Structure 1
């Protein structure tokens, strides 16, 4: 291909570009070295275009290309997204969004110093666990409480402290795999205990546990199968039965509930989800659950139970490795306060989504459609289902109203539209079903409605 060699001579030097007003702004915003590097790359790309038969770009274009490079380079890798998938506790998208009050608490604590491990009344060193212990005791009826950085850590700590070198008996039907390919048996082995499986995948009776107990047994472990269902010919052992057997034999019962639900899910037409309160009342010695699932708070592993048992966990050396940080504590305390005040359904996003009425969902989608129609964009409503997700209430759904964009009215393939939504300033994650792109308002925060509509208009109008 022929090209005009004179075009090369028209290219400005890096120094000339740096001395323009825009070049000086780039240097001030990103540093002289980074601005120089970006301009060199911009000029190299311009030379490639000239060799391909193009013309010399203007200085303004070269500077704009360099600025775009730097802006893209410094975009945060971890970014907020708009969840329009209809999966409420979406693990891939960060699980539970925090309440505005929890976010404010994090900001208040993280911008300065805090009494994390300092007793303000006594003027002496304190414990970071006191900030949420009493609230958890009040909410669950536990004698004591402790918090780690996630629920797998809570399980690992509990077994390490209570069963190191001893046997832990668990039903074969509860040897679950959690997110990321991590399996409960592997976590148990890392604690230094010996796993003893009893029963079958679908049926485990109290007699199976009793037959497995030896002089080396320390704990009877129950793991709630929160991310799958076994239906049909099934039988499981209640915590009340486990507790009666364990205490008769001088053993402990540990109950890993996973999702950490404090409210009655049945009020919303969902299946019953076991609560820490119920497990403790049934006789469990220690119960562990997540902070960022149905609790609706930050990632955390919460342990509640008998005071003597929790004290053993708190003194274990592993506690130092899995302890919770001040920002997470601030968010967790505020989230728990919502439950104390009876305002969880209004304040905590997960519960606002679960309790959102069909009337509200229809109103929001209708408003979206009306705004899109003023720009000539054809969309319609479609009935659908939202799911809880996040290893909580498997198989349970909530009826919803979706915004539907049919392939026949979109000017390019739906997978391209989906990709462009993910490339939006605030990425929007939707889903495609058959020949329709669907957005579920249940998982879109109300304050994000305007941005969703604006993104669709920018891509389709």
Structure 2
């Protein structure tokens, strides 16, 4: 039997929704596999020339598997049932911002008609939220630290506590970022105890030539026991600019966008507004963590230092595009309206457990599989290590993670002790129907 037509085979896969060139790739891969398998069988049997036989249904099945594999590599919505609110593998903070296809005044001053700055929109709102003189936006949190160090401390010293020389996800290491920026690392204190006097002693040594003090939030770990650290206010009294990399992006410790104020699980988390009020010259933080926006890095604080960052050549290489700035603007506007429910992260994080328990009971009853259980969600994304938030969900005996990932849309669960846990705190109520369908298929 001759191999099937590539074009005919590709057209039979049109229902997958993939563009025709990708379907052609899938068809060719399937046909090549069939020829290879037949040739191998010929070698074993010693019957040359029989390799052209190929069952049409087999090659069609192979082609469909290739097409579906390609489809699953593309970015697509998933249902996050892991209970990790800021799941790095799932894009951290969920975000739903729509923008119609149109031109924007990205770098146009509508008042004068002259060229404007892309920092006049979202960045200005972020500065207002932080009670900062000015702000600038770059493409992620690591870029914010890199730009600050390059602009303010190149070829000079930057003092950091040894207890804050952190590594976070993706291999971001403070010493390596400092090296790339051109700043010279001046280590201060010890891993578990650093005092203001340690920084003062380092500043007194002229050969250190310290341009700034960098205070780094221990985003994803804790040092407990015999410890000591220096607050922003005490560092600010030493006479050099203090840059507080708060990482997770809490804007205001008072959480005025939440009706009930700050939740207990936020206790002790540094916030941009308070760090600046305590004397930090600049704060840096991520846009896609506790801020609840897109991936971005924010630098906010003294206008003269922000301007030096904006003028540095790296600023252009690290700047975000209009879509990111528009999303940041929408989230910032929600904060200014004090509308926490318009920010998906805060809406999910502040759900009451009674409502989650009721949803879990409804899900289990309709799917006729699993049982309801109290659970513990976590903030995730390198924020608030060790913190748990009470939640509810559905638990099933056995490991069903792979089967749930094959659902449409894919459902991402967690497996522990050979049981599959689906935490509803991170599932939008609109996705409950998808969960019921996916769970029902497991019966």
Normalised by the length of structure 1, the TM-score is 0.84
Pick closer, same or farther for the CA change 1:19–1:421 going to 2, 3 Å: closer
Distance 1:62 1:362 in 2: 47
Among 328, 341, 346, the residue aligned to 1:332:
328
Distance 2:316 2:40 in 1: 58
Quote the residue 1:437 is aligned against: 420
How many pairs align?
Answer: 423
Quote the residue 1:162 is aligned against: 152
Q: CA deviation at 1:312?
A: 0.7
Is 1:390 the counterpart of 2:381? The answer is yes
Q: CA deviation at 1:201?
A: 1.4
Per-residue CA deviations over 1:192-217 (Å, capped at 9, x if unaligned) read: 11111111112111111000013411
Contact 1:46 1:57 in 2 (8 A): no
Pick closer, same or farther for the CA change 1:45–1:372 going to 2, 3 Å: farther
Contact 1:146 1:310 in 2 (8 A): yes
Q: CA deviation at 1:176?
A: 0.8
Is 1:255 the counterpart of 2:244? The answer is yes
Per-residue CA deviations over 1:375-398 (Å, capped at 9, x if unaligned) read: xx3x21122211111111111111
Quote the residue 1:88 is aligned against: 85
Pick closer, same or farther for the CA change 1:42–1:236 going to 2, 3 Å: closer
Quote the residue 1:176 is aligned against: 166
SS in 2 for 1:419: helix
Distance 1:194 1:309 in 2: 19
SS in 2 for 1:388: strand
Quote the residue 2:201 is aligned against: 211
Pick closer, same or farther for the CA change 1:62–1:438 going to 2, 3 Å: same
Among 387, 406, 409, the residue aligned to 1:426:
409
Per-residue CA deviations over 1:304-332 (Å, capped at 9, x if unaligned) read: 11111111111011101111111111111
Is 1:321 the counterpart of 2:304? The answer is no
SS in 1 for 2:192: coil
Distance 2:274 2:345 in 1: 22
Per-residue CA deviations over 1:170-191 (Å, capped at 9, x if unaligned) read: 1111111111222111111111
Contact 1:95 1:293 in 2 (8 A): yes
Per-residue CA deviations over 1:142-197 (Å, capped at 9, x if unaligned) read: 00110110111111100111111111111111111111222111111111111111
- Flag structure 2 segments of 5+ consecutive residues without an equivalent: 46-52, 256-260
SS in 2 for 1:403: strand
Pick closer, same or farther for the CA change 1:263–1:359 going to 2, 3 Å: farther
Among 6, 30, 37, the residue aligned to 2:28:
37
Quote the residue 2:349 is aligned against: 354
Pick closer, same or farther for the CA change 1:126–1:449 going to 2, 3 Å: same
Distance 2:6 2:230 in 1: 78
Contact 2:392 2:424 in 1 (8 A): yes
Contact 2:130 2:252 in 1 (8 A): no
Quote the residue 1:269 is aligned against: 264
SS in 2 for 1:421: helix
Distance 1:115 1:319 in 2: 20
Quote the residue 2:361 is aligned against: 366
Pick closer, same or farther for the CA change 1:125–1:48 going to 2, 3 Å: same
Is 1:142 the counterpart of 2:132? The answer is yes
SS in 2 for 1:129: helix
Normalised by the length of structure 2, the TM-score is 0.87
Q: CA deviation at 1:128?
A: 0.7
Distance 2:14 2:432 in 1: 38
Per-residue CA deviations over 1:339-395 (Å, capped at 9, x if unaligned) read: 011112x1112111210101111011011011022xxx3x21122211111111111
Pick closer, same or farther for the CA change 1:358–1:47 going to 2, 3 Å: same
> What is the alpha-carbon root mean square deviation over aligned residues?
2.9
Alignment of 1:91-106 (within 5 A): 91-98=88-95, 100=96, 103-104=97-98
Quote the residue 2:48 is aligned against: none
Quote the residue 1:224 is aligned against: 217
Alignment of 1:298-317 (within 5 A): 298-317=294-313
Contact 1:41 1:66 in 2 (8 A): no
Contact 2:168 2:219 in 1 (8 A): no
Quote the residue 1:6 is aligned against: none
SS in 2 for 1:267: coil
SS in 2 for 1:80: coil
Q: CA deviation at 1:43?
A: 5.9
Is 1:117 the counterpart of 2:107? The answer is yes
- Flag structure 1 segments of 5+ consecutive residues without an equivalent: 1-10, 407-413
